[in-house]
Structure formats: C-alpha cells, structure tokens
C-alpha cells in the first residue's frame, strides 16, 4: 500500500508546481467607451462641411453609395463615414479615430486636434 501512495502523492503535488521565471500574463487593453459627446461638429456633416472644418482630406475612398474621408495629423487619424439616406446628399453617420501608430484615442479629442491642424479652419 505504501508503494501506491508515494507515486499518487507525487502526481498530486506536481500540479502545484509553477515555472520559475515565467512572465505574468498580460492584461487585455481596456476598451475606450464610445459616446457622441464632442462629435456634434462632425456627425451629420456633408463632405463640404468636413473640408471647411478640417481642410482637404488625406484620403477619399468611395464604395458604392458609401464614402470615407480620412483626415490625419501627427496626433491622430480620423475616419469619417458618409452614407446616403434616400436621395439626400451623403452625411457622416459614424466616426472612428486612432493614433498614427494604431493605438486607440478618444474620437472627440481627435476632432478637436484636427480642427487646429494646418489646413483646417
């Protein structure tokens, strides 16, 4: 009976061992909550309104009846998505923002920064 108990206890104790020097797990990035606060100057604008606000876009992508105007500075990149509703002129319905390296940034802060960039008004 002693012979069976020894291997069994080794098996049980081996589950308690941890690797020495192993790095702790990295936590997932905290998502930034999205709200419309600070986006009032952008949501609902047409392309001409965006050009008046930010200057000429750095990218203008069209796909079907959708259009994306992209504005960027050293601080951030702002993607504005314009869609038509019926026969009306395309208007901004959604805005996304990121830092130039791809990290998240508050959308309203990006809008504010872009209105101060050279070329914007």
Contact, 95 vs 119, CB < 8 A?
Answer: no
Query: What pTM was computed for the model?
Result: 0.68
* Percentage above 70 pLDDT, the chain: 69
Q: What is the CATH number of the domain that holds 94?
A: 3.30.1450
The tally of CA atoms less than 13 A away on the side-chain side of residue 55 is 15
The residue that leads in pLDDT, 119 or 92, is 92
In a domain, 89, yes or no: yes
Q: Is the per-residue pLDDT at 107 higher than 80? A: yes
Among candidate residues 53, 51, 81, the one with its CA nearest the CA of residue 68: 81
Beta bridge partners of 120: 118
Give the per-residue SS3 of the chain.
CHHHHHHHHHHHHHCCCCCCCCCCCCCCCCCCCCCCCCCCCCCCCCHHHHHHHHCCCCEEEEECCEEEEEEECCCCEEEEEEECCCCCCCEEEEEEEECCCCCECCHHHHHHHHHCCECEC
Q: What is the pLDDT of residue 121?
A: 42
In a domain, 34, yes or no: no
Pairing, β 66-72 against β 91-98:
unpaired
- Give CA–CA dist 99/113, Å, rounded: 11
Contact, 47 vs 90, CB < 8 A?
Answer: yes
Q: What is the pLDDT of residue 31?
A: 58
In a domain, 32, yes or no: no
In a domain, 121, yes or no: yes
Structure confidence by residue, pLDDT tens digits, 62-74: 998 899 999 999 9
Q: What is the pLDDT of residue 38?
A: 76
Q: What is the pLDDT of residue 32?
A: 53
In a domain, 10, yes or no: no
Question: What domain range is 87 assigned to?
Answer: 39-121
Q: How many domains does the chain have?
A: 1
């Amino acid at each position: 009976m002693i012979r069976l108990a020894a291997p069994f206890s080794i098996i049980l104790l081996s589950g308690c061992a941890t690797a020495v020097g192993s790095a702790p797990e990295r936590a997932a990035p905290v998502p930034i909550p999205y709200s419309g606060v600070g986006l009032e100057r952008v949501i609902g604008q047409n392309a001409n309104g965006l050009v008046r606000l930010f200057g000429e876009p750095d990218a203008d992508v069209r796909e079907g009846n959708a259009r994306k105007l992209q504005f960027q500075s050293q601080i951030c990149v702002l993607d504005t998505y314009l869609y038509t509703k019926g026969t009306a002129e395309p208007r901004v319905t959604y805005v996304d923002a990121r830092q130039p390296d791809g990290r998240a940034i508050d959308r309203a802060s990006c809008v504010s920064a872009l209105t101060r960039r050279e070329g914007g008004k």
